[in-house]
Amino acid sequence: MDTLGALALATEQPTNDLMSKPPVGRSEPLITKLMWRNLIPQAIYQVAILLTLQFKGRSIFGVQESAKDTMIFNTFVFCQIFNEFNARKLEKKNIFKGIHKNKLFLAIIGITIVLQLIMVEFLKKFADTERLNWGQWAACIGIAAMSWPIGFLFKCIPVSGEQLLFRQRAP
């Protein structure tokens, strides 16, 4: 899944904004403040949700242990899928702008979803999963879809130092 996600993000065309930014030196951190601003809330959300499902999932959804484990796996995968959209545009709130232009990104997302569906519904013995009903699928996808509004809200928080850093380096 990580390979397909990385491939999907690598297909994103560079924007004109990229040329207005100064070059990044070798000593600069690999993960910028802007990336941390987007990464930390998603990580906290996913850990909180997955731990909640781990310890309270059986009672919340009224399922057996194997179905609960499958729901955790399914929710995790869909969290990654929804977060790939957030990762397309680190600075922009509208993560869907221009998405129709990147057919390869959409195809890879589609392939990931189809592979997940196959893993959960048809590869029970191989993937150690349990078939889910429509309500369980909807719960997994609905929980994961919360990544979009969380990403939007946290993009409203300005990143201190990032803009100043660019202004200081400009000639």
Q: What is the pLDDT of residue 18?
A: 59
- Angle, helix 2-10 to helix 65-88, in steps of 10 degrees: 20
Q: What is the pLDDT of residue 141?
A: 97
Mean pLDDT score of the chain, rounded to an integer?
83
Confidence band of 20 (pLDDT split at 50, 70, 90):
low
**CA–CA separation, 130 vs 128, rounded Å?**
7
Q: What is the pLDDT of residue 171?
A: 47
Q: Which residue has the tokens 């129709």?
A: 100
Mean pLDDT of 12-27: 67
**CA–CA separation, 66 vs 72, rounded Å?**
10
The three-state secondary structure class of 90 is: coil
Q: Are the beta carbons of 109 and 100 closer than 8 angstroms?
A: no
Q: Are the beta carbons of 45 and 86 closer than 8 angstroms?
A: no
Mean pLDDT of 21-48: 82
Model confidence, pTM? 0.80
- pLDDT tens per residue across span 72-90: 999 999 999 999 888 887 7
Confidence band of 63 (pLDDT split at 50, 70, 90):
very high
Amino acid at 31: I
